[in-house]
Amino acid sequence: MKIIVCIKQVPDTTEVKLDPKTGRLIRDGVPSIINPDDKNSLEAALQIKDNDPDTRVIVVSMGPPQADIALREALAMGADEAILISGREFGGSDTWATSYIIASAIKKIPDYDLILCGRQAIDGDTAQVGPQIAEQLGIPQVTYAQKIEVNGDTIIVQRQYEDFYQNIEVKMPCLITAIKELNEPRYMTPGGIADAYSVKNVTVWGFADVPVDPEKIGLKGSPTNVYRTFSPEAKGMGRILDGSDRNTVKELLSELDNKHLL
Ligand SMILES: Cc1cc2nc3c(=O)[nH]c(=O)nc-3n(C[C@H](O)[C@H](O)[C@H](O)COP(=O)(O)OP(=O)(O)OC[C@H]3O[C@@H](n4cnc5c(N)ncnc54)[C@H](O)[C@@H]3O)c2cc1C
C-alpha cells in the first residue's frame, strides 16, 4: 500500500498568546510540534506498515522551511519519505487554498491508496482541510476515525459520534481523518532519529513544482477573511449554591429571574 499522511506543524498551543494590537499569534519563542491528531494518523499508517512491510508511508506538510523539523520527526518515527510544500506564493492561504495546494501536490504522487489527516489542527481548529482535500481529489472520505482496519481494497472505519459509533466500509483510494482515540503514537527511536537526518530526505516542492493556478492560492485565492481575532475575557467566579434541594432550586430560580433569564 502507499499511504500519504498530511502533517501540520503547529505552535504548542498551551503556550500560545495573542498580540492584543495585531490580533496575531505570538510565535516568537513558542515551541512547535506536530499537530497531535496528525501523530495519530501517522501511527495508524505505521501500524499498517508493521503488518505489511511493502507499505510505503509518505508524509506531506505545507508550511515554512522550519516545518522540516516536524517532517524529520515523522521520518524518525518510521515514515519512508517526506515532502515539504513551501514557498512565499503559498503564504496567506486559508483552508480552501491550503487544501487546493496540498491536493495539487498529492496529484503528483502516483498510485496512492490512502490519505490520512488529523481531524483538526490545534491552532487553526477548523477541521476543514482533510475533507476539502478529499473533495478536491474527488475521493471518498470518512472523518472522526477511532479505529481502522484494512480489508483487501477497502478500509473498515469505526467513526465516532458523541454516544455511538458507525462502522463504515470505504473503498480505496480514500481519505480518513484521525482522532486521538485511534491509537497511542509511538516514540522516535535513536536509530530512527539518526536515519531521519542521514539516510532519509525531506524533498522540498516550491511554487514551480506544484501545478497550481496562482489565482487560487495565497491571500488572493482565499475566500475567508478574518474579521477580528481576540482572546475571550476571563469570566468572573461562578457561585455555588448550597443547602437543601428545595432551597437551592428556589435560589437558582430567583437568581435567573433577577438576571431576566426566565
Ligand atoms: C485569511 C487567512 C489567511 C491565513 N494566512 C495564513 C498564513 O499566512 N500562514 C499560515 O501559516 N496560516 C495562515 N492561515 C491559516 C491557514 O489557512 C490554516 O492554518 C490552514 O489552512 C489549516 O487550517 P486549520 O489549521 O484549521 O487545519 P484543520 O483543517 O483543522 O486541519 C485538519 C488536518 O488537515 C491537515 N493539514 C492542515 N493544514 C496542513 C498543512 N499546512 N500541511 C499539511 N497538512 C495540513 C492535517 O492533517 C490536519 O490535522 C490563514 C487563514 C486565513 C483564514
> Using a 6 Å cutoff on CB, does residue 223 contact ligand 1?
no
For residue 235, is it within any domain? no
- Write down the pLDDT at residue 195: 97
Whether 196 is in a domain gets the answer yes
Whether ligand 1 lies within 6 angstroms of the CB of 91 is answered as yes
- Tally of domains in the chain: 1
123 lines ligand 1 (CB under 6 A): yes
Mean pLDDT of 55-83: 97
pLDDT of residue 14: 67
pLDDT at 16: 65
Supply the pLDDT for residue 232: 77
Q: Tell me what pLDDT residue 261 has.
A: 87
Do you find a cis peptide bond into 173, omega within 30 degrees of 0? yes
pLDDT of residue 158 exceeding 70, the answer is yes
**127-149 residue pLDDT tens:** 999 999 999 999 999 999 999 99
From ligand 1's centre to the CA of 240, what distance in Å? 40
Residue 139 lies in a domain: yes
Q: Is the CB of 127 under 6 A from ligand 1?
A: yes
Whether residue 128 has its Cβ less than 6 Å from ligand 1: yes
Shortest CA distance to 59 belongs to which of 138, 131, 4? 4
116 CA distance to ligand 1 centroid (A)?
Answer: 16
C-alpha 121 to ligand 1 mean position (Å):
7
The model's pLDDT over 209-237, given as tens digits with 9 standing for 90+, comes to 999 999 999 999 999 988 887 777 878 88
* Ligand 1 mutation target, pool 40, 94, 177, 180, most atoms within 8 A of CB: 94
| Confidence (pTM) | 0.88
- Asked if residues 155 and 1 have their Cβ atoms less than 8 Å apart, the reply is no
Classify residue 109 by its DSSP letter: S
Q: Tell me how far apart the alpha carbons of residues 209 and 33 are, in angstroms, rounded to a whole number.
A: 26
Taking a C-beta distance cutoff of 8 angstroms, is the pair 116, 176 a contact?
Answer: yes
Query: Which structural domain range is residue 19 located in?
Result: 2-216
Tell me whether residue 246 is in a domain: no
6 CB within 6 A, ligand 1: yes
Among left, alpha and beta (phi > 0; psi -120 to 50; other), residue 225 is beta
Q: Is 63 in the pocket of ligand 1 (CB under 6 A)?
A: yes
User: Which whole number is the average pLDDT over 144-169?
Assistant: 97
Residue 243 falls inside a structural domain: no
- pLDDT at residue 62 is higher than 70: yes
In ligand 1, which atom is closest to the CA atom of 121?
Answer: 30
Q: Is 99 in the pocket of ligand 1 (CB under 6 A)?
A: no
Which residue's alpha carbon is nearest to atom 19 within ligand 1?
Answer: 124
How many Å lie between the centroid of ligand 1 and the Cα of residue 98? 6
251 is a domain residue = no
pLDDT confidence of residue 20: 76
For residue 43, what is the domain's CATH number?
A: 3.40.50.620
For residue 58, is pLDDT > 70?
A: yes
Q: pLDDT-based confidence at 242, cuts 50/70/90?
A: confident
73 within some domain: yes
Query: Which of 231-257 are b and which e, b meaning 16 or more Cβ less than 10 Å from the residue's Cβ?
Result: eeeeeeeeeeeeeeeeeeeeeeeeeee
> Is residue 233 domain-resident?
no
- Is the Cβ atom of 226 under 6 angstroms away from ligand 1? yes
